[in-house]
Amino acid sequence: MKKFAIIFPLILLAACGQAPEAQPVPSETVAAAPVKPSLPAPDQENFAAAFAKACPTADKVNISVCKRAGLGSTDVICEYGLGKDEYMRHNATLTPSEGVWTVADPKTTCAEHGAE
pLDDT at 113: 76
Rounded Cα distance between 22 and 27, Å, is 15
Could you list the pLDDT tens digit for every one of the 116 residues in the chain? 666 666 766 666 666 656 566 777 777 766 665 555 577 888 899 999 999 999 999 999 999 999 988 888 889 999 999 989 888 999 999 999 888 999 999 999 988 877 65
**What are the residues facing 95 on neighbouring strands?**
102
Q: Could you tell me the pTM of the whole model?
A: 0.64
- Do the Cβ atoms of 56 and 109 come closer than 8 Å? no
- Do the Cβ atoms of 92 and 78 come closer than 8 Å? yes
The distance of Cα 52 from the centroid of its chain, to the nearest Å, equals: 26
Burial of 81 (0-12, 13-18, 19+ CB in 10 A): middle
pLDDT at 30: 66
The bridge status of strand 100-103 relative to strand 90-97 is: antiparallel
pLDDT at 99: 87
Residues in the chain: 116
Where are the alpha helices (H) located in 1-116, listed in sequence order? 2-16, 44-54, 106-112
